[in-house]
């Protein structure tokens, strides 16, 4: 049976064709890519109905079987562009098999020309994918002038064996992660669940927890469209056996999540989210390595795909960085030589301007710091019988500082200590303890950390400290009629339980 070409609309991709489409990227060996799948396109189109109406899918079919596909949108200028250029880290020509099919790619290029596509803008094509060069050649044969430039790069690693071998290959990073884990495990349980591979831990629940972590991360919550797209992709990928959502917990509290996809030999890391309140524990670093250990336990991947873009983790874990290509193609005409450079220049300038504007919008108006002084009133508590026991803590203890950094949302033990006055001291309240308190040299309670769910932190701390010191202790409350300026006593709730095995100082 011979090939035939057509231009499909999104509404024409039914469940059967969608399943056949999803089988194509999964069968491409080391070039397998979730962003080529119908699962990704369907999730994106569901999130954005306007995009769904705009999509055209030049396709080469063999009977009912797709052989080559190139989903595009057509902009106001008439340029045919890769779908999702602003939400997709790269794109490819969707094809059957690991290598190029010259006949199918030739028909695909001719179908574009026949449909009136005078110009094409193809987004970040992998330079190492053999289909890329073959398709660019097919475009030239179909009468297009093709210009290409390097834009970004893939971030890849190629494991050489099992988990033990992988850990040896990245020994410094494994040691780096182990140091963070060893700070946590003596104090709390460190556990991780894998969602999306069993009915007991479905992808929907894993994504719910992941989205909550995203909202508490430095990235902030998903916008509604991204939320729909990411969730829908996770659910569709679950049905295909592709998705892995890893949730890392400390003492049962979710602190970080990782989303991976497995297509054939390729494991692709989609994203990480961690609660920035736990920055002092480095949960994002821990979940990165622990998630990979789970992937290797299933079956060692042939390729670890970290996606384009830089980060400190990627810099340490991705020795292979093949370039990605932005491709502009125009049909030969009298103005082609003029239009193509102008279009290339616009495509360089517009994203750069957009990135600068976005960075400016993200820039905070002022720096973070301590609570500014405001009118306060001091409420003194005299020593009395019946108060909870209190005892001083060693504020230089790195473990205590790390715990307090998590409670206050500071990035490190050093950062949280920098928010204290030189003569401040920390105290343990109750035998549980039920609270921790930071007391200034002037016997004013600066900060209270509650561990038992109580909301009366000042009422718990001040009587205990007054009894222990046998002198009055005050708390500071905001009062517009206050007679002095200062910072009110801060009351926080601990994010983690006090470690049962860790008692720096007994009361």
Torsion of CA 195, 198, 200, 203, to 10 degrees: 40
Residues 6+ apart with CB under 8 A from 369: none
Name the strand (E) or helix (H) holding 18.
helix 15-26
For residues 296-306, average pLDDT: 97
Average pLDDT over the chain, rounded to whole? Answer: 90
Least confident of 354-358, 412-416, 501-505: 354-358
3-state secondary structure 428-457: EECCCCCEEEEECCCCEEEEEEECCCCCCH
Q: Is the pLDDT of residue 366 over 50?
A: no
Which of residues 83 and 431 earns the better pLDDT score? 83
Q: What 3-state DSSP class applies to 4? A: strand
pLDDT digits (tens, 9 = 90+) for 120-136: 999 999 999 999 999 99
Residue 457 has pLDDT above 70, yes or no: no
Look at residue 481 in the predicted model and tell me its pLDDT.
83
Q: What is the pLDDT of residue 372?
A: 63
Higher pLDDT, 414 or 1: 414
Each residue's pLDDT tens digit, 34-55 = 999 999 999 999 999 999 999 9
272 vs 228: CA distance, rounded Å:
17
Of 98-112, 362-376, 431-445, minimum mean pLDDT range: 362-376
- What is the separation of C-alpha 385 from the centre of its chain, rounded to a whole number of angstroms? 52
Question: CB under 8 Å to 166, separation ≥6 — which residues?
Answer: 159, 160, 292, 296, 300
Q: Phi-psi bin for 106: left (phi > 0), alpha (psi -120 to 50), beta?
A: alpha
Q: What gap in Å lies between CA 445 and CA 425, rounded to an integer?
A: 10
| pLDDT per position as a tens digit, 285-299 | 999 999 999 999 999
Which two three-digit tokens encode residue 135? 């398709």
Task: Summarize pLDDT for 202-257 with one digit per residue, the tens.
Answer: 999 999 999 999 999 999 999 999 999 999 999 999 999 999 999 999 999 999 99
The whole-number average pLDDT for the span 270-278 is 95
Give the 3-state secondary structure of 239-256: HHCCEEEEEEEECCEEEE
* pLDDT higher than 50, residue 361: no
Structural domains of the chain ordered from first start = 4-151+324-359 (3.40.630.30), 157-305 (3.40.630.30), 374-493 (3.40.630)
């Amino acid at each position: 049976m011979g090939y035939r070409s057509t231009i499909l609309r999104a509404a024409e991709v039914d469940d059967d064709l969608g399943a056949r489409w999803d089988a194509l990227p999964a069968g491409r060996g080391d070039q397998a890519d979730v962003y080529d799948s119908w699962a990704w396109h369907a999730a994106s189109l569901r999130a954005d109905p306007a995009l769904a109406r705009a999509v055209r899918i030049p396709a080469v079919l063999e009977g009912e079987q797709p052989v080559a596909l190139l989903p595009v949108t057509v902009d106001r200028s008439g340029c045919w562009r890769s779908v999702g250029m602003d939400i997709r880290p790269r794109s490819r020509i969707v094809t059957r098999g690991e290598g190029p099919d010259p006949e199918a790619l030739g028909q695909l290029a001719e179908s574009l020309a026949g449909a009136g596509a005078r110009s094409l803008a193809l987004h970040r094509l992998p330079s190492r994918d053999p289909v890329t060069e073959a398709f660019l050649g097919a475009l030239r044969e179909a009468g297009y002038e093709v210009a290409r430039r390097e834009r970004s790069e893939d971030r890849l690693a190629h494991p050489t064996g099992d988990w033990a071998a992988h850990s040896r290959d990245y020994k410094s990073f494994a040691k780096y992660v182990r140091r963070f884990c060893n700070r946590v495990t003596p104090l709390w349980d460190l556990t991780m669940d894998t969602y999306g591979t069993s009915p007991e831990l479905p992808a929907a629940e894993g994504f719910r927890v992941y989205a909550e972590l995203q909202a508490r991360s430095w990235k902030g919550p998903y916008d509604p469209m991204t939320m729909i797209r990411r969730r829908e992709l996770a659910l569709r990928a679950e049905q295909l056996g592709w998705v892995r959502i890893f949730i890392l917990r400390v003492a049962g509290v979710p602190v970080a999540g990782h989303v991976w996809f497995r297509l054939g030999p390729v494991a692709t890391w989609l994203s990480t989210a961690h609660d920035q309140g736990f920055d002092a524990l480095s949960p994002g670093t821990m979940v990165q390595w622990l998630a990979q250990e789970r992937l290797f336990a299933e079956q060692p991947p042939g390729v670890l795909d970290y996606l384009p873009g830089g980060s400190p983790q990627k810099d340490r874990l991705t020795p292979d960085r093949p370039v990605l290509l932005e491709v502009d193609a125009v049909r030969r005409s009298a103005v082609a030589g003029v239009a193509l450079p102008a279009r290339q220049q616009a495509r360089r300038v517009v994203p750069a301007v957009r990135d600068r504007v976005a960075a400016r919008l993200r820039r905070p108006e002022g720096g973070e710091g301590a609570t500014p002084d405001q009118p306060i009133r001091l409420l003194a508590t005299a020593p009395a019988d019946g108060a909870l026991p209190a005892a001083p803590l060693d504020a230089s203890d790195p473990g205590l500082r790390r715990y307090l950094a998590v409670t206050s949302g500071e990035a490190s033990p050093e950062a949280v200590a920098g928010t204290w006055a030189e003569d401040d001291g920390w105290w343990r309240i109750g035998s549980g303890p039920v609270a921790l308190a930071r007391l200034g040299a002037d016997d004013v309670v600066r900060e209270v950390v509650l561990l038992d769910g109580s909301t009366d932190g000042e009422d718990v701390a001040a009587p205990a400290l007054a009894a222990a010191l046998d002198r009055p202790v005050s708390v500071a409350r905001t009062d517009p009629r206050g007679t002095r300026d200062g910072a009110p006593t801060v009351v926080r709730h601990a994010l983690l339980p006090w470690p049962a095995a860790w008692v720096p100082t007994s009361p």
